[in-house]
Amino acid sequence: MFEPIPGDHCMTYNRRTILNRTALAGLSLFGVAGSAPTAAAEPDDTLVEGTITDFDDPVAEATVSLGDATTTTDEDGEYELTVDPADSDGTDRSAVSVSGERVLEVRADGYAERTRRLEIDPGEAVSADVPLYREWGDETGELQVYATEVDGGSTIPCHVTIYGDDTYEASAPEGAIPDSGSWNTGFAVSEGWWDVRVTDAAGYADGTQTVYVDADGSEIAWVQLESGDREIPGTGRVLGRVVDERGDELDEASVRIAGEPVSVDDDGSFEIDLEHGRHPVTATARGYESLRGGVDARFGRTTELIVPLESQ
C-alpha cells in the first residue's frame, strides 16, 4: 500500500535508550491490511493481529486500539486484539453478527498517530501491519555522542552526523560531543527519535545508533565501532515500481520525489538515491488517477516502493 504523507489530505541523565540498528538490509516500508478465514477466540469474535514498525524495525509498547479493545505491542512490535464486531466501533448493539468498516488506531511516543480502516466480519481474522512515521515535539533535550571500540575503551576521533527533524554534523577530534574543547554540551535537539552516524574514524568502520531524546532530558548515543573500512553513506536507495490495480507494471508513468522528476523505465520501475529522511512522492500516468504519498530513505538501506495507480 502506498502510504499518504501524514497531514497531506490527498493522501545529569534521566534515561539512556540506545538501540543498535546497524544492519544494512533491504526494507519494505508499507504494511498491508487483509483478511483470512481463520477461527477467532469466539465464533463471532474477530481476531485482529499484525506488526507495528518504524522502517521495518519493530516498535515496542505501541498502543493499538479498535473500539473498546486496546493492547500494546511486544518487543517484536506484534499485537493481537480480540474484537466483538457488534461493539468494535464503540456502539452498543444487540446483534452480535455485525460486519462493517472499523478504524484501527496506533499511538507511540515519538511517532505520529496512525489510523487504518479495516473490514470486520464475525468469526474471521484480520491482519493489519502498520508503519509509523516519526514526529518531533516542540520541546528540546540534549544528545551526547561517544564513539569507542566494541565493548568500550577510549573514545575515537571521528565525524558525527545526527538526523531527526533536522540534520546536524560536527567534527569530534576527541571522539565525543561534548569534549574538553569547543563543545561544552551535546547537541540541542527536538524531543523525539534521532539517528546518529559516525564516520571518518581512522582504522574503523562507520557506525550508527538510534536514540530517543526526552524533552528537557539528556541522552547518550554510544556508537561502538568495529575495525575495518566499511562506509555507511548518508543516503538511502529507493527501488520503485508503478503498477495498476491488478499489480501489472505501467509504462509511460511519471514520478516526482521531493518535486524533482525521476527517470522511470518502460516497465514502470525506477531507482534513486535520496538523502536520509522522508520525501514526498507524486505519480501520474495517462488514464489513471494521480497519487501523492511519501517514502522514507535511511542511510545505507534500500527501500522497495510499490506505487499503485487507479484507472480514471
- For the stretch 254-269, pLDDT in tens is 999 999 999 999 899 9
Q: What is the DSSP string of 247-294?
A: S-B-SS-EEEETTEEE---TTSEEEEEEESEEEEEEEE-TTB--EEEE
What is the predicted pLDDT for the residue at 20? 29
CATH placement of domain 140-225: 2.60.40.1120
What is the predicted pLDDT for the residue at 122? 82
The residue ranking higher by pLDDT, 32 or 220, is 220
What is the predicted pLDDT for the residue at 86? 63
What is the predicted pLDDT for the residue at 101? 83
Lowest-confidence region among 16-20, 57-61, 135-139, 263-267 = 16-20
Query: Does the fold of domain 140-225 match that of domain 33-128?
Result: yes
Binned at pLDDT 50, 70 and 90, residue 222 comes out as very high
Q: What are the residue boundaries of the structural domains of the chain, listed by start?
A: 33-128, 140-225, 235-308
What is the predicted pLDDT for the residue at 43? 59
Q: Which CATH architecture has domain 33-128?
A: Sandwich (2.60)
Is the pLDDT at 19 greater than 80? The verdict is no
What are 185's three cell numbers? 554540551
Q: What is the DSSP string of 90-149?
A: S---S-S---EEEEEEEE-TTB--EEEEEEE-TT-EEEE-EE--B---SSEEEEEEEEEE
Is the pLDDT at 171 greater than 70? The verdict is yes
CATH top class, domain 235-308: mainly beta
What is the predicted pLDDT for the residue at 15? 27
Binned at pLDDT 50, 70 and 90, residue 187 comes out as very high
Q: What is the DSSP letter of 203?
A: T
The residue ranking higher by pLDDT, 131 or 19, is 131
Residue range 286-298: mean pLDDT, rounded: 92
Binned at pLDDT 50, 70 and 90, residue 33 comes out as very low
Reported pTM: 0.77
The residue ranking higher by pLDDT, 261 or 68, is 261
Is the pLDDT at 85 greater than 80? The verdict is no
Supply the mean pLDDT for the chain. Answer: 83
Contact residues for 275 (Cβ-Cβ < 8 A; gap 6+): 234, 235, 297
What is the predicted pLDDT for the residue at 60? 97
Our CA dihedral for 276, 282, 286, 289, rounded to 10 degrees, sits at 130
**Beta strands at 33-36 and 69-72: parallel, antiparallel or unpaired:** unpaired
What is the predicted pLDDT for the residue at 290? 94
Binned at pLDDT 50, 70 and 90, residue 36 comes out as very low
Could you give the CA distance from residue 42 to residue 5 in angstroms, rounded to a whole number?
Answer: 37
Is the pLDDT at 155 greater than 50? The verdict is yes
What is the predicted pLDDT for the residue at 41? 46
Is the pLDDT at 144 greater than 60? The verdict is yes
